[in-house]
Amino acid sequence: MHASKPCIAMLIATLCPALMFGGTVSGKVTYTGTPVKQKAIDMSKEPSCAKQHATPVTTETIVTGANNVLENVVVYISAGADDANAPSQAVTFTQKGCQYIPHVIALHTGQELQVVNADQTSHNIHPLAKVNREWNKSQPPGSPNIQEKFDQPEFISVKCNIHPWMHGWFAVLKTSHYSITGDNGGFSLPNLPPGKYTITAWHEDYGTQTQDVTITGNETKSIDFSFKAKAY
Amino acid sequence: MSGKLFAIVVILIALASAVPIINHTFMGANVALPEDISTHGAEIDKQIDETMIEAGLSFLAAQLVLGFFVWQYAGRKDGVLKNFPGGAKYLVLAAVLLVGAEAIALGAIGTKAWATVYFKPASADALPIQVQAGQFAFYFRYAGPDGKFGGLHPDKIDEGNSNFFGLDPENDVAARDDITSGELVIPVNKEIHLMMHAKDVGHSFYVRELRIQQDFVPGLDLSLHFTATKVGKYEIVCTQLCGLGHYNMKAYLNVMSQDDFDKWLKAQSN
C-alpha cells in the first residue's frame, strides 16, 4: 500500500499536462464537384462472400457522406509531433465478405498489425509496399491472425491475390496523432502539447493537402480540408 | 503354373479396364460428361466416342494377345529366343503402319469437329464478348450501347477500382459505356464470339457442358465462337495451373433467354 501512493502521484503528474494543457486540432473533410460513381463489385465467383451482401457492395475508392463529406481520409501530424515510439496495442485489419474492413487503416512505424480472416474462404493479403519490404501471405479460413510490422512511413496499397476486387490501404505514419474520417467527415487530433504543427490530409485518389497550425495551450483549433472531385 | 496365373491376371486387368470404356461408349456419353448444351458439342462427343472405341478395341486386342502368349509360353523351359521369328524389321514396320493408320484415321474424323470451332470464323452477327483471364478470376467485357469496345491500356489496370481491363474512360469515349462483369451472361441460341486474352500467365477456359476447353496464352489474342442451346447456370473453370489461387479460379456461365439477357444488359448499363 505504501509503495502505490508515489506511483499514483507519478501517474497523475504524467497525465496532467496532457489533460490540462493538451490542445486539439479538429475539423471536417469535404469535397467539391461530382465524384465518379463507384462500381458494383461482382463476387459471383465466391458464393460464400456474395451471400453475405444483400445488396452488391461497391468499390470504396471514393466514399462520401451527407453534406459533401469525404470519408477514408487520413488526417495526421506530418511535422512537429514528437512521438517516436509505437503504441503497444495492435491495429486490426479484417477480411470479411471478401472486403477489407476498414478500407483504410493507419498505424505507427513498428506498430503491430493483425490481419484477420473472418471468411470461409482463403485470402492472400498482399501489401504492395515500395519503401518497406513487400510481402504476400496466404491465409486459409480458420488460420491464426497474421502479425506484421512496417519500419518505414509509407502509404501502402493492399490487394488480395485471390480476389482481384479486394482493395485497402495501410497508412504507415511516424506519429500516432492521426484520425481517419468516417461518415460525418470529421477528424480530431487531441492531446497536442503547445507547438507548431503541420497537419496533412491524405486521400487515396485525391492526393494530399497540408495546413500549418500553432497550438499555444489548452485550446481547440478548427481547420477544414476540401478536395476537388475528379470526374473519372 | 505361375505363368498361367499371371496370364489370367493380365486378362482380368484388361477386362476391368474396358468397363469404363464400354460404359462411356455404349451406355451413353452422359456417363462421363454432363449434357451437351452447344451446337457443336455433338461432333466433339462423336469424336470422343470414336476415339474410345478405336483406342479401346486396340488396347483390348493387345492385352488379350499378351495374355494368350503368357498363357501359352510362360512355362517353357527351352531357353530364350535369340532372334524374333521372321525378324524384328517387319514387326516394327507393321506396328508403325498400324499406329500411323489409327492416328491418321482419328485425325481425319476429328478434323470436322475441330474445324467447326477453329477454322470457321464467327458469323458477323455473333455477339462479341471479351474475356480476360488473370490471377485468379475471369472478367468479361461487353461493348455497351454504342457497340464499340474501348481500347486497352495495361498501365491503367486498377483492380481495386474495378478497372480490370485497363480502360481509359477519361480520354476514350468508347470505353465509357463498356460493361464489365465477373459472370459470363449470354443469350440462348445466339452465336457468341469470345475474344480471349490473358493478363498475366497462362490460364484455360473450360466449360464441360459447352464442350469447350481453350488455353489462354499470354501475348496472344485468341478467338472462339459457340452457340449455347439451353438456359441455365454452368461453371467456367481454369484448367491450367496458374498459381496459388488456381483452385479458386472460376466464374459462371449464365445462359438466359434473349429477353432476360436484354434486361440484364440494360441493368448493367445503369
DSSP codes joined into one string, B142-164: E-TTTT-PPPP-GGG-BGGGTB-
More confident of the two residues B117 and A75: A75
Tell me which chain A residues have a C-beta less than 8 angstroms from the C-beta of B170. Answer: 231-232
Look up residue A103 and give its DSSP letter: S
To the nearest whole number, what is the mean pLDDT of chain B?
A: 88
pLDDT digits over A154-177, tens only? Answer: 999 999 988 989 999 999 999 999
pLDDT confidence bin for B117, thresholds 50/70/90 = confident
pLDDT for B261 beyond 50? yes
Q: What single DSSP character describes residue B11?
A: H
Which A residues 23-42 touch B at CB under 8 Å?
39, 41-42
pLDDT score of B80: 72
Alpha carbon separation from B168 to B83, B173, B204, B262 (Å, rounded): 74, 8, 27, 26
Q: Report which of B204, B260, B203, B211 is spatially closest to residue B231, judged by C-alpha positions.
A: B260
- Asked if A44 reaches chain B (Cβ–Cβ under 8 Å), the answer is yes
Output the pLDDT for position B28. 60
Q: How far apart are CA B116 and CA B191, in angstroms?
A: 13
pLDDT class of A8 with cuts at 50, 70, 90 = low
H/E stretch holding B232 reads strand B232-237
Contacts of residue A167 in chain B, CB cutoff 8 Å? 159-161
| Whether the Cβ atoms of residue A108 and residue A86 lie closer than 8 Å to each other | yes
Degrees to nearest 5, angle at CA B88 with B84 and B90 = 125
For residues B140 and B91, membership in a common domain is answered with no
Q: Tell me, what's the pLDDT at B108?
A: 84
pLDDT in tens, B68-101: 988 888 777 776 777 777 778 888 898 899 889 8
Query: How many whole angstroms separate alpha carbon A78 and alpha carbon A74?
Result: 11
Tell me: do B187 and B211 sit in the same domain: yes
DSSP output for A112-165? -EEEEE-SSS-EEEEE--SSSPP--EEE-TTPPPEEE---S-EEEEEEESS-TT
Given CATH 1.10.10.10, say whether it is the number of domain A22-77+177-232.
Answer: no
Let me know: does A104 contact A74? Beta carbons within 8 Å: yes
Among candidates A158, A100, A166, which has minimal Cα distance to A128?
A158
Q: Is 80 exceeded by the pLDDT of residue A9?
A: no
> Given this model, what pLDDT does residue A18 score?
46
Q: Hey, do A22-77+177-232 and A84-174 end up sharing a CATH topology, with the first three levels equal?
A: yes
Check residue B44 and give its pLDDT: 86
- Averaged pLDDT, B255-270: 92
Selected from 1.10.10.10, 2.60.40.420, 1.10.260.40, 1.10.730.10, the CATH number assigned to the domain covering A84-174 reads: 2.60.40.420
Total number of domains in chain B: 2
Residue ranges per structural domain of chain A: 22-77+177-232, 84-174
Chain A residues in contact with B173 (beta carbon < 8 A): none
Rg value, chain B, Cα:
26
**Could you tell me if A203 and A229 are in contact, meaning their C-beta atoms sit under 8 angstroms apart?**
no
What is the structure's pLDDT at B83? 72
Tens of pLDDT, residues B153-207: 999 998 888 899 999 988 999 998 999 999 999 999 999 999 999 999 999 999 9
| pLDDT tens, position by position, A61-114 | 999 999 999 999 999 999 888 777 889 999 999 999 999 999 999 999 999 999
**Closest by Cα among B197, B128, B204 to B157:** B197
Of the two residues A225 and B121, the one the predictor is more confident about is: A225
Measured between CA atoms, the residue of chain A closest to residue B139 is A42
Q: Measuring CA to CA, which residue among A4, A101, A97 is closest to residue A48?
A: A97
- Contact between B136 and A231 using a beta-carbon 8 Å cutoff: no
| Interface test mutation site (partner B, options A39, A42, A62, A122, max chain B beta carbons within 10 A) | A42
**B92-117 burial, b if ≥16 CB within 10 A, otherwise e?**
eeeeeeeeeeeeeeeeeebeebeeeb
- Tell whether B169 lies on the interface with A, counting CB pairs under 8 A: yes
Residue A229 in contact with partner chain B when CB distance is under 8 A: no
- Which one, of A52, A56, A110, lies nearest residue A86 by Cα? A110
Tell me which residue in B137, B160, B251 faces A61 most closely, judged by beta carbons: B160
Report yes or no: B235 at the A interface, CB cutoff 8 Å.
no
Predicted local distance difference test score (pLDDT) of residue A16: 47
Q: Over 90: is that where the pLDDT of B43 sits?
A: no
pLDDT at B69 (0 to 100): 87
Q: Return the C-alpha cell found at A30.
A: 469535404
Q: Is A203 on the interface with B (CB under 8 A)?
A: no
CB atoms within 10 A of CB A56: 12
Contacts of residue B252 in chain A, CB cutoff 8 Å?
A: 44-45
User: Would you call A53 an interface residue with chain B, using a CB distance cutoff of 8 Å?
Assistant: no
For residue A1, the model assigns a pLDDT of 39
Please spell the DSSP secondary structure of B172-192, one letter per residue: -GGGTT-EEESSEEEETTSEE
Task: State which residues form the domain around B111.
Answer: 2-75+84-118
Burial class (CB in 10 A: 0-12, 13-18, 19+), A31: buried
For the entire predicted model, the pTM comes to 0.78
Instruction: Count the Cβ atoms, other than its own, within 10 Å of residue A82.
Output: 8
Q: Please report the pLDDT score of residue A20 as a whole number.
A: 52
Cα separation, A103 vs A166, whole angstroms: 9
**A54 near B CB under 8 A:** no
pLDDT digits (tens, 9 = 90+) for A80-94: 887 778 899 999 999
Q: What percent of chain A has pLDDT over 70?
A: 91
Confidence of residue B30 (pLDDT cuts 50, 70, 90): low
Counting one residue from A and one from B, how many pairs have CB atoms under 8 Å apart? 64
Q: B201 contacts in A (CB within 8 Å)?
A: none
pLDDT-derived band of residue B34, with 50, 70 and 90 as boundaries? Answer: confident
Q: What ipTM goes with this model?
A: 0.71
Mean pLDDT of A193-215: 94
Closest CA to B228 of B215, B250, B211, B241: B211
- B137 and chain A: CB distance < 8 Å anywhere? yes
Among A23-37, A118-132, B108-122, B222-236, the least confident range: B108-122
Interchain CB contact of B71 with A (< 8 Å): no
Whether B35 and B131 share a structural domain = no
Q: Is A128 exposed, middle or buried (0-12, 13-18, 19+ CB in 10 A)?
A: exposed
Same domain, B50 and B31: yes
Q: What are phi and psi of B63, to 5 degrees?
A: -70, -40
Q: How far is CA A174 from CA A2, A47, A66, A153, A195, in A?
A: 39, 40, 32, 6, 17
- Judged by a CB distance cut-off of 8 A, whether residue B238 touches chain A is no
- Asked whether the predicted pLDDT for residue B110 surpasses 90, the reply is no
Q: Nearest CA to CA, how far is A60 from chain B (Å)?
A: 8
Domain of B202, CATH number, reads 2.60.40.420
- B149, B258: one domain: yes
Distance of CA B99 to the CA centre of its chain: 24
Among B11-20, B140-149, B223-232, name the one with the lowest average pLDDT.
B11-20
Residues B209 and B234 in one domain: yes
B151 and B247 inside one domain: yes
B132 or A6: whose pLDDT is higher? B132
pLDDT tens column, A11-54: 444 444 445 558 999 999 999 999 988 888 989 889 899 999 99
Residue B27 has pLDDT above 80, yes or no: no
- pLDDT of A17: 45
Q: Is B137 close to A163, i.e. CB distance below 8 A?
A: yes
- Judge whether A50 is closer than 8 Å to chain B, CB to CB: no
Binding-face residues of B in 33-52 toward A, CB within 8 A: none
Residue A21 pLDDT: 58
Residues A65/A45, Cβ–Cβ less than 8 Å? no
Q: What's the grid cell of residue B28?
A: 451413353
